[in-house]
Structure 1
Amino acid sequence: MCAIFGCLVWGMSPMHVTRTNQIMNQIMVASGERGRDGWGYHVQEDRGHSTGYNFERKSVERNSLHGRNDFFDEMHPIHQGGIIGNLRAEPTTEYVAEKREFDQQPYRAGGWNVVHNGTIANDHELRNHFAGQKLPTGVDSAAIAEFLARDETNDTATETELSATFFNMVSHLKGSYAILATHDHYPGVVFAACNYRPIWYAWLDGACFFASSKDYFPAGFAPQMVPPYSAWRFTPMHAHRLDPAVLQGRKALVVCSGGMDSVVAAKALQADGCDVHLLHFQYGSRAESPEYAAIMAVSNAMQVPLHVLPMGIYDKEDSPLLQADSEIAGGEAGAEFAHEWVPARNLVMLSLATAYAEAKGFDLIGLGNNLEEAGAYPDNEPEFINRFNEMLPFAVGDGKRLSVVMPVGNLMKHEIVALGEQLGAPMGLTWSCYRSGPVHCGTCGPCFMRKTAYTINGLEDPLQYARKDS
């Protein structure tokens, strides 16, 4: 419920120190929108001694940031070391009627200095059963510092051992968290960890800055987000991931229309060892009947479960694809522009698939978006999936790991055909046509692209077409 911020600096010249102070002032003031109930920061400089130089400032006065931008102007010139800070937004469950300075972060215990944004739901358990040193505050974030301080080897620990201690602490947390931490014996290191609470960082000429939002950095910065559900050690010019990159689970829910692209995507995931389930949406498409027959046949052929969900949010006039007698663009014209666009269809489908996947315990959501159709359909562009994945950790429950994968996302139609035939996908059971009928029309955009893709591969398309010459 706070903002956290920080900075790791090294090799600072006087000019760089001045600029770093200015940047830190801007980040701290901008961070005030996320916390107005107190603030504090800890400065630690490496002076070549075992414990370095420590300096701390705190305030427990509400709105004491207002009208100020000079917090770091008088700071001792720091040439190498770490700064971490917190601006507190006090939740009702952590309200302190008479706040004292030790109620305000950063918290300091056993050589560790810690700031935290979030809510620790198991703080009482951590403090009662795991912690060693006790801090004189009831604020939940103190449990983090106490847990870190319980390791009696902190005074002699190596950087690697401290990293293991930090990651072990993170693995015991229940609740929401974004954490920055430093240790007295390693002033040139900042530890960071988060789940869905954000941490952003940016490198700039001998410094790495941290904030709770990318909007808090000055103009011209290119901040990156610390990946949700990860832990890191930042040192000059390097970021080292502490947790092993967690492999996604193998239970995949594939959004599948019954068409070639999504069926090949499902087959690719199955070939990769995933436990594949198909999810078919009925949203009123004019080809709904042959699509449903196709997805049933594909499900049986692949021997995978099929889930069918209604998606009755559209009216027929919303798209030509929903009207039985509307004109359908053909040939190159149908392939190069989204004449039959259905408003936000992939976004709606992915949102519903996310809810279904979270509820039913899936790890992956598969989609048949592809590079060729990205030329006409914005929601086929791989960047759409990348952005959706960036949003996902904030849309599902704490601790849930879901991601969207696109097995054919970077493939053209002729490459999808080649992959499908190579994997033995049931290509002859799919339905690619925009029209409804006993066989594919052979003239609409999808039919044109599919037939051309088979021709490029020198293969015979197993489907029948009403017209083969278009």
Structure 2
Amino acid sequence: MIIKDKKALCVMSGGMDSTLSAYMMKKMGYEIVAVHFNYAQRTQKKELSCFHNICDELGVLNRYVLDLDFFAQIGASALTDKNIDIPTGGVEEGVPVTYVPFRNGIFLSMAAAIAEKENAEAIAIGVVEEDSSGYPDCRDSFIQSMQRSINLGTKDETNIVIHMPLVHLKKSQIVKKALDLEVPLNLTWSCYKNEDKACGVCDSCRLRLNGFKEVGVKDPIEYQ
């Protein structure tokens, strides 16, 4: 289905999943408005650079970059607290230490404010439930509940749909779809630890590399 003269606010981290989501929304005919969050994560500078490079490729002119440094004060995540080591030993039991408390809930709340201001009818977020790290705020049911809350808490004429086109895909399916849409995967970043060359051993790198391996394609970014 092609949507004409409609805006979609895309939450874009600079990673592969959110980038693919934005490309999918553009293919549907949406005008893309992009939002990126700096939340004191270890790879903040790299992710911001990737965000702008990807927006350049997409032709996105309307961009928001929001600084949420309170996440560092909250801590409780290896991504925002450098006293907690990034795990490199594979899958953890339960919710990993890289989980940032209620991050997607906060992101979506702020995205809703922008979407209402921009008269966007859609918000797109690249959450992945089945083949993710086990984060509770990446679940389909949670995102649906946020959509209901957003529409209850905004103007009567505001009716926002949250698109999560990757939520039930595996990483290999995401890689395949990104290749099919000619997404510039060389501009994306997934590593939790490094900003120069990806570590290749953190959970995010492992998932990404495994996805490329299953598709039989080499990942275009550099690894240590």
Instruction: With the length of structure 1 as denominator, give the TM-score of the two structures.
Output: 0.45
Contact 2:72/2:81 (<8 A) preserved: no
Contact 2:127/2:164 (<8 A) preserved: yes
Q: In structure 1, what is the Cα distance between the partners aligned to 2:93 and 2:171?
A: 11
Contact 2:4/2:30 (<8 A) preserved: no
Q: State the Cα distance separating 1:325 from its structure 2 match.
A: 5.5
Contact 1:286/1:322 (<8 A) preserved: yes
Residue number among 383, 387, 403 corresponding to 2:141 in the alignment: 383
Higher helix share: 2
Q: In structure 2, what is the Cα distance between the partners aligned to 1:310 and 1:383?
A: 27
User: Match for residue 48 of structure 2?
Assistant: 292
- Give me the identity figure in percent: 30
Residue pairs, 1:231-380, within 5 angstroms: 250-305=6-61, 306-316=63-73, 317-324=75-82, 326-333=84-91, 337-373=95-131, 376-380=134-138
Q: In structure 1, what is the Cα distance between the partners aligned to 2:165 and 2:18?
A: 9
Deviations 1:238-266 (A, max 9, x none): xxxxxxxxx89721011111001100111
User: Is the partner of 2:35 in helix, strand or coil?
Assistant: strand
Q: In structure 2, what is the Cα distance between the partners aligned to 1:389 and 1:293?
A: 29
Change (3 A) 1:448 1:315: same
User: Is the partner of 1:279 in helix, strand or coil?
Assistant: strand
Change (3 A) 1:411 1:336: farther
Q: In structure 1, what is the Cα distance between the partners aligned to 2:78 and 2:101?
A: 11
User: Is the partner of 1:333 in helix, strand or coil?
Assistant: coil
Question: Higher relative contact order by CA 8 Å / sep ≥ 6: 1 or 2?
Answer: 2
Q: In structure 1, what is the Cα distance between the partners aligned to 2:153 and 2:132?
A: 25
User: Is the partner of 1:278 in helix, strand or coil?
Assistant: strand
Change (3 A) 1:366 1:432: same
Change (3 A) 1:400 1:249: farther
User: Match for residue 404 of structure 1?
Assistant: 162
Q: State the Cα distance separating 1:388 from its structure 2 match.
A: 1.5
Q: In structure 1, what is the Cα distance between the partners aligned to 2:14 and 2:93?
A: 19
Contact 2:96/2:134 (<8 A) preserved: yes
Q: In structure 2, what is the Cα distance between the partners aligned to 1:259 and 1:335?
A: 24
Q: State the Cα distance separating 1:358 from its structure 2 match.
A: 0.4
Contact 1:392/1:403 (<8 A) preserved: no
Amino acid at match of 2:99: W
Over alpha carbons, which structure has the higher Rg? 1
Amino acid at match of 2:90: E
Q: State the Cα distance separating 1:409 from its structure 2 match.
A: 1.4
Contact 2:39/2:72 (<8 A) preserved: no
Q: In structure 2, what is the Cα distance between the partners aligned to 1:250 and 1:338?
A: 37
Q: In structure 2, what is the Cα distance between the partners aligned to 1:263 and 1:459?
A: 18
Q: In structure 1, what is the Cα distance between the partners aligned to 2:90 and 2:71?
A: 27
Contact 2:131/2:169 (<8 A) preserved: no
User: Match for residue 431 of structure 1?
Assistant: 189
Q: In structure 1, what is the Cα distance between the partners aligned to 2:50 and 2:93?
A: 22
Contact 1:276/1:304 (<8 A) preserved: yes
Amino acid at match of 1:291: E
Residue number among 111, 134, 150 corresponding to 1:392 in the alignment: 150
Change (3 A) 1:289 1:380: same
User: Match for residue 122 of structure 1?
Assistant: none
Q: Count the aligned residue pairs.
A: 220
Change (3 A) 1:301 1:335: farther
Q: In structure 1, what is the Cα distance between the partners aligned to 2:187 and 2:72?
A: 29
Q: In structure 1, what is the Cα distance between the partners aligned to 2:131 and 2:66?
A: 24
Amino acid at match of 1:314: F
Change (3 A) 1:388 1:374: farther
Q: In structure 1, what is the Cα distance between the partners aligned to 2:96 and 2:69?
A: 21
User: Is the partner of 2:79 in helix, strand or coil?
Assistant: helix
Q: In structure 1, what is the Cα distance between the partners aligned to 2:93 and 2:221?
A: 19
**Contiguous gaps of at least 5 residues in structure 1:** 1-246
Q: State the Cα distance separating 1:374 from its structure 2 match.
A: 5.1
